[in-house]
Structures are given as C-alpha cells and as structure tokens.
Amino acid sequence: MSMFSFCGSGEDVTLSCSWFRPDPRFGVTWTCGPDPLVKNGSLLEASSRSGRLSLNHEGSLTIKRVRASDAGSYRCYFNPKEALDTQLLVLSISPSPPDSECKQDLMDLSCSLVCSSTNTCSPPEGSIVWLNGTGDGPENKLVLKRDVSVLTVNCLMGNYRRYTCQFVQKGRVKAEVHYTSVFSENVGSKVDEVSYRGRGEDVVLPCPLFQSGPRVGVNWSRGRNPPSLLVNGTVMEASSQSGRMSVNSEGSVVLRKVTTSDADYYRCWYQNSVDVLNTVLCVLSISPSPPDAECRNDEIVDLICSLPCIDLLSCPAGSIVWLNETGNVLQEKQVGLDGDKTCSSVLTVSRLTGNYRRYSCRFVQEDQVQTEVHYTPVFSDSTDWPVLSSILLILRIAGLILMICVVVVVYIRTRGSKNPPKDVNVHFAAESTH
C-alpha cells in the first residue's frame, strides 16, 4: 500500500503508520529508502535525522522542520510482510543561485516540489502558483521531472516583501511555503520569522533548531555580522543590548523593554549545524513631532506612529491604524506597497481646552492585529488642564481653611486651660500687714 504526503519546507510533518498491528509486543519499524530510522519502536541515534524525529504511541513518525533533503520514500511496518509506503514531497523556495547578489535590481526565486533527495523520481502532475502579499500572482505548470517555477523579483534597497508558493492538484492546495525577502545593501536574505512588538514590551526570539548535543550552546548575531550577541550560549558583554538581554534553556533570546533601535535582522544557529533561523524584529512606537511638542504652547501637535524593521529602510505590507480611547478608528494608512519605505503614519491632534485623550496605534496585516501601542499626551502648561487646576485650587483653599480652624481651636483650648491667681493667697498677705 502506498500514499503521498505533501509538506512545505520548515514545517513539521507526521507520517502515519495506520496498519494492522498483529501483536502489541511488536514495535514499529521505519525506513527512508535504504536508511533505517526506527527499529522495533526505538529511534536509531545513528540516523542523521534522529534529532528531528519523534514517535508517538500509534507508531506515527514526526519530522520537525522538514528540509528538501527529507523528501523520499518512507516505509513503516509492524510485520515485514505488511508494509505501508509513504512518498514525502517537500515544497521549498530558494534564491537562485543561493546568496546571490542583486544584479540590475532583480533576482530569481525558485520554487520546487522535491520528491527525492537523489532526484530519482518524477513529481506528480499539478501546478505551482506564486502569490504576493495580496494573494495575487501568476500560475506556472509543473509537469516534467525536476521542473521548477522561477519568479523574478525586484530587490531595490529597502524592499521587504513576502512571497507564497503553492502546489495545487485539481483545485486543491496540497502544500504551501512562504518566503520573505529582506534586501539590505543589495544583498538578498531569507527570513523565517517576523516578530512584531510595541516599544517598551519584552520580546522572546525563539531558536527552534536541532541541537547536536546538550553541551552545545546557541549562537546569535544581529544584522549581517558574525556572532555578536551570544557565543555558545554566553551573552557578549560588548553588545549594546547585553544589559537587557538573556538566554533561556531553549536557546531563545529575551530582550527586555525593546526600543526602536532594537529593530533589526537576527540570526541563530548551533555549532556544527548547517541550519540557521533568520528573524526580523519590527518595533511599533508613537512619538510627538517635534520631540518637545508637549512642552510648547502650540494648539496643534503631530503624533508619528512608525514601524522600523531593518535599518529603518524596510516596511512590511499592511496598515497603520489610529484609534481613540473609545476604540473608534481615526485614521488608516496602507504601508509597504508601491515602494513605500517610510512605514509611518502621522496623526494631528488638537490641544483644545480640556483635551486629555489616549491614542492607540495598530499595525494590521490581513485583518490581524500584529502589535499595538498607546500614547497619552501630557502637556506641561497647566492651562491645558483647567479642570485639574480648579480641583487643585479648591483643595488648597480647603486645606488653608482647615489649618485656620485648627489654629483657632488650639488657641481657645489653650487660653481656657490657664488658672487665674488664687484670691485666698492675696487675702492672707493683706492680713499679715496689720
């Protein structure tokens, strides 16, 4: 018996072994081509994939963070005479050639459906479909052995786009994989994760990669630099973020109270491992313009909501939405489209008498709020808060009246407690003179 299983590169996949089990004492056995993976219910540590494999009580095999090299023919059985074959096909996207530099502002992305790491099989008939961030794109047929679909993209500096590749059979999407291109200094790089946070929040950047051994620590770098944040699990003191940075037992970096200067490209990997994970951190923030606007007497103040991601040049596609304290939308701006690199929105607010409001800014992608920040203007001029000033004045007058009353009461009680001179003593003194 044979079946197909489709998966996108980087995903987890579970291969079922739903076959009659003749005796509960018999464990499952798994092979991939000639290579044994599981024998009688036990994972073989000698397998190059053992660190990414797991087995459940039903005998199903799970492969974590699938790679194109995992594609192939898998066989499982409890009884060698009754085996179940599964063909794993992996859809993946890669720049062509790898790590290529942009030439004439263009580069090629290749999407392929791999059915065997040795290229000894032909992929099934179907279609490879490219989609952009809005869900539109051309379609390319995949019908021949080793065929791939190539999409030429623009990689001008600051371009930040997500592309999606789907493998479709008879109108059904069998597998889907995403690719986010980040072009800095005209060099294309793949992004695996994008993390959105508001300024002042804590952020955890995970590193869910295979660890070759318990003594091997994680490495983290920022930008295109070599290990600059963590080396073998140890925080580099020279890093400007070291005072706010820590690493947990899973290899994740924890950044406390992120600032806009933390927005950048982060990469993690383990020693002697070919796998790397690339994460982009985007930080949403609100600030007045000019910075000292709250201390001035201007009737109008501009609030700027910005979302820097990489070197303050790139902008993901989405919307920046302004709301008031009741949740009503005040303003919405589409960003990251048509070469827009600013990734910011300006809201003009009035300093009318008694105006004291909270404003919120959201970054929204495909109707999902990715992150949100809040801002409450605090004006130093007391004339902007007449109600508060009146309350303070009333409290001061009441305190003064109370103090006067206390002084009067104390004075009266003190005066009443004094004893007058005794007449009897004066009388005796007068009699003694006779």
Domain definitions of the chain by residue range: 2-89, 283-382, 387-434
User: Could you count the other beta carbons within 10 Å of the beta carbon of residue 82?
Assistant: 12
Strand partners, 220: 230, 268
H/E stretch holding 399 reads helix 386-416
Q: Are strands 193-198 and 160-169 parallel, antiparallel or unpaired?
A: unpaired
| pLDDT over threshold 50, residue 158 | no
Please enumerate, as own/partner, the contacts of 22-25 that have beta carbons within 8 Å and a separation of 24 or more: 22/78, 22/79, 23/78
Which is more confidently placed, 186 or 273?
A: 273
H helix count then E strand count, the chain: 2, 31
Q: Is-same-fold flag (2-89; 283-382)?
A: yes
Which is it for the CA torsion 379, 381, 382, 386, positive or negative?
negative
Q: What average pLDDT does range 102-117 have in this prediction?
A: 75
Assessment of whether the complete model's pTM goes beyond 0.75: no
Confidence class for position 184, pLDDT limits 50, 70, 90: very low
- Quote the pLDDT of residue 137: 60
Encode pLDDT of 185-226 as tens digits. 434 456 778 889 999 999 999 887 766 666 677 888 887 666
Which is more confidently placed, 227 or 197?
A: 197
Encode pLDDT of 274-324 as tens digits. 677 888 899 999 988 776 655 555 567 889 999 988 754 567 888 999 998
What SS3 class is residue 50? helix
CATH class of this structure's domain 283-382:
mainly beta
d(CA 80, CA 370): 50
Beta-strand (E) ranges in 170-217? 172-184, 187-191, 193-198, 203-205
- Quote the pLDDT of residue 186: 37
Q: Mean pLDDT score of the chain, rounded to an integer?
A: 76
Report how far apart the first and last C-alpha atoms of the chain are (Å, whole number).
Answer: 145
Query: Which of 30-34, 100-104, 378-382 has maximum average pLDDT?
Result: 30-34
Lowest mean pLDDT among 63-77, 139-153, 328-342: 139-153
CATH assignment of 2-89, given 2.60.40.10, 3.40.50.620, 3.40.190.10, 3.40.30.10? 2.60.40.10
